Structure 1
Amino acid sequence: MTEGTVQFAIPGLPEPCQTWYKVVGDLASSPEPPLIVLHGGPGACHEYLLPLTDLAPSKPLVFYDQIGNGRSTHLPEKNGDEAFWSTDLFKNELDNLLSHLGLRNRPVDVYGHSWGGMLAAEWAAAPPSPVSLRRLVLSNSLASMEVWRIGIKALRDKLSEDIQEVLDRSEEKQDFASPEYEAAVEVFYKRHLSLARPWPMPEVQAALDWFAKDATTYGTMYGPSELYISGSLRDWTCIPSLHRIKVPTLLINGAQDEAQDVAMQPFFDHIPKAKWITLDNAAHMSHVDQRERYMEHLKTFLTA
């Protein structure tokens, strides 16, 4: 296991930023293509995806904290700057990391969870196609905010009336910091973020902790919670470009997932070589809720 940072120069900033990364396994000697892990959020950071180390040592893995988050450079002064926090910024960061690790011209597999899946899909579909990409995993993700909203609304409508009233009242007042709102959101999270108990499991808590420490990217790009989309990704879609993804692609979500089937369906409809698995008794953190089954599916797909 090795850790390091790579300089990432961003136009308009006086000094280069630092992208922190961790490599599990041996990139130099392993015959297996490494798995590049793109975390969700934006801002959830890499820790909640560390169960993927179950794939090691036969499969090298590269974890990293996206810029603005975790152990990478934080930029709180860019809070609210929608033009700065673009998907292009994070695609460029990924390319920069791959170049630093000597992986641009070597076969790699890429895994994206939630927002990381959105980023991975955009990166994989961008012309020209990434020549080094061998296989793609889009886990608990969404192809557009339009279809995501449909799924979220359907889940929200199943909450009790009193919880829905709290959510509606808080949104009307734009009051997202009250204990009442936080308690209502937690009800939703226990149903659709993770089903693993006791709540929250360490991996889930790790992601929630990072949101609390620095909400710059999440707040600017998504919003105050999973139930209220107000950030720069509010009209995001990658559906028109999905046909450009030519590599075998695995889609995974949970039956109780925030990423309902309606959010995943366009991936399956438009990516030519897509396989889709939905895990029962699993929510958005399917890799935590059904860890053993989840890893079995990953291993089967990545070694086929």
Structure 2
Amino acid sequence: MTVVPGVGLTAAPRVKGWLPFGPYRTWYRVTGPADSGKPAVVAIHGGPGSTHDYLLSLCFLAEAGWPVVHYDQLGNGGSTHLPDRGVDFWMPELFLAELDNLLRRLDIADNYVLFGHSWGGMVAARHAARRPSGLRGLVVANSPASYVLWRQEMEVLRAALPADVDATLRRHEAAGTTGTNEYVKAMLLFYERHVCRLRPWPRDYLASFMETSNNPTVYSVMNGPSEFHVVGTLKDWSVEECLPAIAVPTLVISGRHDEATPVTVRPYADRIPDVRWEIFEESSHVPHLEEPERFGAVLTEFLASLGG
């Protein structure tokens, strides 16, 4: 059966609220039946420093019986904001601990699937490599396996931009003036080619984009001023070395025009033992929005193959 994203969602029950995470709070939402017996699909959004909004279309899975869990990672959206915390705080282990806390407090740690998008795919892979007993499957969507590879490939993609656009970007990056309107305008050309090719941008995607723009603490500290100028704490982070330890069936997704180029994604396909890689020909970084029907069919087929 092919489930089309966006159809029939009004019938799916929803629960939302906050979970304590140490002295902080993680905002979450669960859509779908709690008693279907199927594993919960936990969506880990990208960024870092984005929000769950652009992944809301995953709720289509609830119509076929999979509970879908969204949450906002610490520092953004409905979760606790901490604008005064610096580089020593915003580290990958913080978000791995937050994920563990979420699974435990929602009482789904014994039966779940992870769907990690972009940076969230790296978090999901690192979590999976620890071989938690309740993990049934893994989806790594539009995610690099290494920020070293990512930075190398950004140079390739930038070289294909109009020369005057790249010159503008580099001038502001060198001067430290990446907050100017001129830089942002030049940056958007890259985003329209390699992040979301739809016109206009879908409401859910725009919501997350604006949330990050309005509250850039996590993104700026961990990533930097833009997708293609990574100078934050993640600039050398990688999950390549842990991929052979992943012991669950894994679906890898990327787009033909993706900023997560095949070079950055290939380590997942080469190193995870039980893996399948699907490339979406008409998509960039968000195939769930750019090719929703095919995306729905591919994801539903993969989840059904896990049983439960």
Q: What is the CA-CA distance between 1:213 and the residue it aligns to?
A: 1.6
Distance 1:6 1:211 in 2: 22
Whether 2:45 is the aligned partner of 1:45: answer no
What amino acid is aligned across from residue 7 of structure 1 in structure 2? P
The equivalent position to 1:64 in structure 2, one of 47, 71, 87, is 71
Corresponding residue of 1:13: none
2:108 is matched with 103
Q: 1:147: how far off?
A: 1.3
Give the aligned partner of residue 24 of structure 1.
Answer: 31
**Unpaired stretches in structure 1, ≥5 consecutive residues:** 10-15
Q: Distance in 2 between matches of 1:263 and 1:23?
A: 31
Equivalent residues in 2 for 1:125-136, closer than 5 Å: 125-126=129-130, 129-136=131-138
Measure how far apart 1:6 and its partner are.
0.9
Aligned-residue Cα RMSD (Å) equals 0.9
Shift of 1:151: 2.1
Q: Is the 8 A contact 1:139 1:252 kept in 2?
A: yes
Correspondence for 1:193: 195
Amino acid in structure 2 at the alignment position of 1:89? L
Return 5+ residue gaps in structure 2 as ranges. 1-13
Provide the rounded CA distance (Å) in 2 between the counterparts of 1:237 and 1:103: 27
CA distance in 2, matches of 1:18, 1:56: 25
Aligned to 2:296: 295
Is 1:247 the counterpart of 2:248? The answer is: yes
Give the letter aligned to residue 131 of structure 1.
S
- Report what 2:285 is aligned to: 284
In structure 1, what is the equivalent of residue 128 of structure 2? Answer: 124
SS in 1 for 2:251: strand
Does 1:93 pair with 2:93? Answer: no
Answer whether contact 1:42 1:217 (CA < 8 A) is retained: yes
Preserved contact between residue 150 and residue 262 of structure 1 (Cα < 8 Å): no
Inter-partner Cα distance in structure 2 for 1:84 and 1:211: 18
Indicate conservation of the 8 Å contact 2:76/2:212, yes or no: no
Partner of 2:237: 236
String of CA shifts for 1:255-291, please: whole Å, max 9, x gaps: 0000000010001111000100000110111111111
Residue by residue, what CA displacement relative to the aligned partner does 1:55-87 show, whole Å, maximum 9, x if unpaired?
122211010001111001100111xx1121111
Match of 1:4 among 17, 33, 38: 17
| Candidates 176, 180, 183, aligned match of 1:181 | 183
- Report whether the alignment pairs 1:113 with 2:107: no
Runs of 4+ in 1 over 4 A off after TM superposition: none
Structure 1 residue 150 displacement after superposition: 2.5
- Residue 123 (structure 1) shift: 1.0
Amino acid at match of 2:30: V
Identity %: 41
- Aligned partner of residue 179 in structure 2, secondary structure: coil
Indicate conservation of the 8 Å contact 2:146/2:238, yes or no.
yes
Offset, 1:154: 1.3
Q: How does 1:143-292 map to 2 (within 5 A)?
A: 143-198=145-200, 200-292=201-293
Shift of 1:218: 0.5
Q: TM-score, normalised by structure 1?
A: 0.94
Aligned to 1:223, the other structure's residue is in SS state coil
Cα distance in 1, alignment partners of residues 145 and 55 from structure 2? 21
Q: Secondary structure at the match of 1:49?
A: helix
Check the 8 A contact 1:203/1:288 in 2, yes or no.
Answer: no
Q: Secondary structure at the match of 2:188?
A: helix
2:83 paired residue number: 76
Letter in structure 2 aligned against 1:266 = P
